[in-house]
C-alpha cells in the first residue's frame, strides 16, 4: 500500500511498527536515492544505497514527531534520506585525509577545491586574489585550532560532524570556534575597508 495518506504513514510507523509499511518506505527511498545519487556513486552503488537507506530509516523513525505535514510524508522522508546520504558521502570523501593535510603552510597555497572547470582569465585572477587574502588572514589572525577548523569546513567542504569528531569536540563547540574565527577575520577586513560581502560580490561579478 504505497499510496498511504500522511496520517496512515504515521500510524503505521509509530508505536507498533507495521513491517509492510517499513518495507514500502524502504522501497520508496531506494528508488529515490537511485535517482538522486545517480551521478555521485561509482563502485557498487546498490550496496551504498542500501547502507544509506538503512541509516535513513533509523533517522526517520526517530524523527517522526518533527514531521509537520506540510508536504507528503514520502517527500519528507526522501529529503531526510538524501541528507543522510550526502553527509555520509562527504564523510567518506575525507575518511583518509588528515586535517593537517588540509591546512596550508603558506598563505598563498591555494586549495584544489576552488578550481573552476572552465574559468575565464578574469575570474581566475579575482578568485585567486580573494583566496590569497583569505589564506593570509587565516594565517595571521587565527589560532592553529581556528585555522584548522576553517580550512577543513569553509575551504575544503568537510562535514561539520567529521571535523568535530577529528578535533575531539562537538558540533556546538565547533560552531563557536568558527564563529570567533570569522569575527576576527571580519574585524581585520573592516580595518582594511573591506567586507565579506565585498569579496563575494567581486567573485559573483566575474
DSSP of 99-153: HHHHS-SSTT---GGG--SS--HHHHHHHHHHHHHHHHHHHHHS-HHHHHHHIII
The confidence score (pLDDT) of residue 75 equals 92
Show the cell assigned to 154.
569553509
CB 21 within 8 A of CB 29: no
The confidence score (pLDDT) of residue 85 equals 87
Show the cell assigned to 196.
565579506
Q: Is pLDDT of 174 > 80? A: yes
Q: Give the DSSP letter of residue 44.
A: S
Instruction: Please say whether the structural domain 6-93 has been given the CATH code 1.10.1740.10.
Output: yes
Domain with CATH 1.10.1740.10 in the chain: 6-93
Structure confidence at residue 150 as a pLDDT band (50, 70, 90): confident
Rounded (to 5) percent helix, strand, coil in the chain? 70, 0, 30
Residue 27 belongs to what H/E stretch?
helix 19-36
The confidence score (pLDDT) of residue 115 equals 41
Q: Is pLDDT of 160 > 70? A: yes
Q: Is pLDDT of 9 > 90? A: yes
Amino acid at each position: 500500500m504505497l499510496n498511504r495518506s500522511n496520517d496512515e504513514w504515521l500510524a503505521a510507523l509509530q508505536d507498533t511498527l507495521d513491517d509492510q509499511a517499513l518495507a514500502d518506505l524502504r522501497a520508496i527511498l531506494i528508488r529515490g536515492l537511485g535517482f538522486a545519487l545517480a551521478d555521485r556513486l561509482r563502485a557498487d552503488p546498490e550496496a551504498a544505497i542500501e547502507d544509506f537507506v538503512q541509516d535513513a530509516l533509523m533517522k526517520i523513525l526517530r524523527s517522526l514527531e518533527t514531521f509537520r505535514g506540510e508536504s507528503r510524508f514520502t517527500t519528507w522522508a526522501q529529503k531526510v534520506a538524501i541528507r543522510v546520504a550526502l553527509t555520509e558521502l562527504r564523510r567518506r570523501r575525507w575518511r583518509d585525509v588528515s586535517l593537517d593535510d588540509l591546512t596550508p603552510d603558506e598563505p598563498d597555497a591555494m586549495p584544489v577545491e576552488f578550481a573552476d572547470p572552465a574559468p575565464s582569465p578574469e575570474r581566475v585572477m579575482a578568485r585567486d586574489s580573494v583566496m590569497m587574502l583569505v589564506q593570509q588572514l587565516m594565517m595571521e589572525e587565527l589560532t592553529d585550532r581556528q585555522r584548522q577548523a576553517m580550512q577543513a569546513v569553509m575551504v575544503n567542504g568537510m562535514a561539520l560532524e567529521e571535523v568535530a569528531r577529528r578535533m575531539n569536540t562537538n558540533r556546538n563547540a565547533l560552531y563557536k570556534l568558527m564563529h570567533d574565527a570569522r569575527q576576527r577575520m571580519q574585524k581585520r577586513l573592516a580595518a582594511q575597508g573591506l567586507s565579506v560581502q565585498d569579496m563575494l560580490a567581486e567573485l559573483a561579478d566575474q
